Amino acid sequence: MNSSVAVKPLNDLLPHSVTLIDSVPGPQRLPSTLQLKHQLPLDAALSQQVAAHRKAVRAILNGEDSRLLLIVGPCSIHDPRSALEYAEKLAKLAAEVSDQVLLVMRAYVEKPRTTVGWKGLAYDPDLDGRDDMARGLTLSRELMLEMVRLGLPIATEILQPMAAGYFDDLLSWVAIGARTTESQIHREMASGLPMPVGFKNGTDGGVGVATDAMRSAAHAHRHFGIDRHGHPAIIETQGNPDTHIVLRGGHRGPNFDSQSVAAVRAGLEKVGIAPRIMVDCSHANSGKDPTRQPAVFNDVLAQRLQGDTSLVGMMLESHLFEGCQPLNNELRYGVSVTDGCLGWEGTEQLLRDAVNKLRYR
């Protein structure tokens, strides 16, 4: 050998044998994403329907379809029965207004928490703190399948990247929330998702993190992940060109007004990103007051009617009945247990009025 460096066998480098003792109780195993998809399959006809809905969302984002994209539904789903009743109402309305708007059902089964609290149907489906996630994932997929069978495109916020594979074949649009838009892990995940993704601006109201997220998600990545069999894997993505920004306001106040929208549009164009803007009418844009959502909605609609085609859509938090309620043993049917929502009657009237304005502009 020409080298003067001798490579010792690994065993010679270890001073003594090491025995790992695991005294922690073993974790409960979840089904792999493939197992749950086999248990609750999406048939070929519904798969084609989802593909068509994704194509429709992309067409709106790209300016090929002049309709508005509207993401509408409960802040979070805690009761499958009331969620399906809401979905049935939305599906009926969607068919009547499809010439002007594309209605997408919010099917949010994960909820981010600032500190602690109920994390959503996928985590704690029985609302009792036991966190039966195996049941939560199954129930969430069952519910989403029923919504797809109603003919609805559905949307969710993906908070836990490991959960994405349990639902990704059912979704037509995905949100990345204000707290996770800055996360490299979520940007990598978004780069491989097969549907359009909306990145929310940061909780401070700044849009820089969302702009960076869109640029990152548009690129190919190799990253750590879990394959469909549940094994750790190197995931390779091709990049997602179908991303856009979602304005939800911030600590400094709302950002849905025409001046804020113009500033965001100019900022996106400056860095070479297509100005595709959605406004979340809730959160800081409404001061977390659900009764103020219609005013935000109508302001943005007026901007759109005045010719601002960069405004491609809006988001409303809406349930069967208005307001919200704390988690307790006597929950009112059809009322949110997280952020306050518009009631269905107010939502339907708001959407019908908007469609009439769009039809007769």
Is 24 within a domain?
no
Average pLDDT over residues 52-66: 98
The CATH number of the domain where 91 resides is what? 3.20.20.70
Q: Give the confidence band of 3 by pLDDT, cuts at 50, 70, 90.
A: very low
Q: Give the confidence band of 4 by pLDDT, cuts at 50, 70, 90.
A: very low
Q: What is the pLDDT of residue 115?
A: 85
Is 2 within a domain?
no
Give the Cα-Cα-Cα angle 162, 220, 163 (nearest 5 degrees): 10
Mean pLDDT (the chain) is 93
Q: Give the confidence band of 27 by pLDDT, cuts at 50, 70, 90.
A: confident
Is 99 within a domain?
yes
pLDDT digits (tens, 9 = 90+) for 206-232: 999 999 999 999 999 999 999 999 999
Average pLDDT over residues 155-161: 97
Is 14 within a domain?
no
Is 215 within a domain?
yes
Task: For residue 105, give every residue at least 6 positions away whose Cβ sits within 8 Å of its Cβ, in sequence order, or none.
Answer: 72, 73, 86, 87, 90, 91, 147, 152, 153, 154, 155
pLDDT digits (tens, 9 = 90+) for 237-281: 999 999 999 999 999 899 999 999 999 999 999 999 999 999 999
How many domains are contained in the chain? Answer: 1
Is 40 within a domain?
yes
pLDDT digits (tens, 9 = 90+) for 287-303: 999 999 999 999 999 99
The residue range of the domain holding 351 is: 32-58+67-359
Is 12 within a domain?
no
CA 286 from centroid of its chain's CA atoms? 19
Is 158 within a domain?
yes
What is the percent of the chain where pLDDT is above 70? 93
**Gap between the terminal Cα atoms of the chain:** 84
